[in-house]
Amino acid sequence: MATLDEVRLDRTSAQPLWAQLHADLLRRLEAGEFTRGFPAEGELREEYAVSRHTVREALRRIRAAGLVRSGRGRRSEVLATTIEQPLGTLYSMFAEVESQGLAQTSTVLRCGITKNEQAATALGLATDTDLFGLERVRLADGMPLAHDDVWMPASVAAPLVSSDFTRTALYTELERHGMSRPDGGRERITATLLGPEQAQQLGVRSPTAALLIERTGTLEGQPVECRRTTVRADRYALTMSFGPNGYHVGR
């Protein structure tokens, strides 16, 4: 019952067989088809009617992406089902909060379309361009965690003015309106001394150090997001691990 459809691969295509197989395996992984075990090389070979070499060429990339782990003698083991897009330290910080089971909410201080010279410049737009601005205090289980000020071009983010951000993440709302989240960007991380006003917003006494993260998010190379986040340093920190294969932010 496994070899019903062997016709998923197009041998006349300009795309290599292994690339087609690779794409199909990624699709099936993401669909959760292999949660009860990843197929063996021989099974894939039979199912797709290709040589073992072709199967291994596709598997090589899936292994390299860290989605499955293999070893002599034992079947491949599924480690993850999606390639986690690294979206910067900010993303990983809030993901960390979430993973600790804390409820994330926000107090919205400002949400609307205005002009902002500084943010427009950072986005590479004319200084009088209409921008969507969202200013929040982010809370983890009711406890102030960060002050977040984000600007996006109104031409892109205008539909978001009517959204309720007290419980919803910006990117979730973006995707709900059919827009993509940034696929790249830059962050600048430094430390800052909290002034009386910000200290009060974050619920700490005034002369306190905080992490300041300035972020520019891009979509296909175009800057679409300019963000300034002040994070309480007494409760939260950035962690990163590194090794021969590069960096990993968080955990």
Partner DNA sequence: GGGCAGCAATAGTACGTACATTTAGGTACG
Partner DNA sequence: CGTACCTAAATGTACGTACTATTGCTGCCC
Provide the binding-site residues for DNA, judged by CB under 7 A: 11, 16-19, 40-43, 50-54, 56-57, 59, 70-76
- Binding-site partner at residue 40 among a copy of itself, DNA, none, CB < 5 to 8 Å by type: DNA
Nearer to DNA, 79 or 126 (CB): 79
Contact between 86 and a copy of itself (CB under 8 A)? yes
Sequence-distant (6+) residues with CB within 8 A of 52 are: 41, 42, 45
Nearer to DNA, 4 or 64 (CB): 64
Contact between 223 and a copy of itself (CB under 8 A)? no
In angstroms, give the least distance from the CB of 219 to DNA: 23
* Contact between residue 149 and residue 229 where contact means Cβ atoms under 8 Å apart: yes
In angstroms, give the least distance from the CB of 111 to a copy of itself: 26
CA dihedral 17, 21, 26, 30 (to 10 degrees): 140
Q: DSSP label at 81?
A: S
Closest CA to 182 of 143, 227, 145, 138: 227
In angstroms, give the least distance from the CB of 246 to a copy of itself: 6
- Spell out, one character per residue from 56 to 75, where the chain touches a copy of itself: x when CB under 8 A holds, - when not: --------x-----------
Residue 130 neighbours by CB distance under 10 Å: 15
Among 33, 41, 187, 198, binds a copy of itself (CB under 8 A): 187
Cα angle 185, 215, 190; round to 5: 125
User: How far from chain centre, in Å, is Cα 65?
Assistant: 16
Contact between 12 and a copy of itself (CB under 8 A)? no
Which range touches a copy of itself (CB under 8 A), out of 80-88, 123-131, 134-142, 168-176?
A: 80-88
Written as one letter, the residue type at 23 is A
In angstroms, give the least distance from the CB of 188 to a copy of itself: 5
Exposed, middle or buried by CB within 10 Å (0-12, 13-18, 19+), for 197? Answer: exposed
Contact between 249 and a copy of itself (CB under 8 A)? yes
In angstroms, give the least distance from the CB of 113 to a copy of itself: 28
* Contact between residue 170 and residue 157 where contact means Cβ atoms under 8 Å apart: no
Contact between 172 and a copy of itself (CB under 8 A)? no
* Contact between residue 134 and residue 108 where contact means Cβ atoms under 8 Å apart: yes
Nearer to DNA, 70 or 129 (CB): 70
Interface contacts to a copy of itself, rule CB under 8 A: 64, 85-89, 183-193, 207-211, 233, 236-244, 246-249
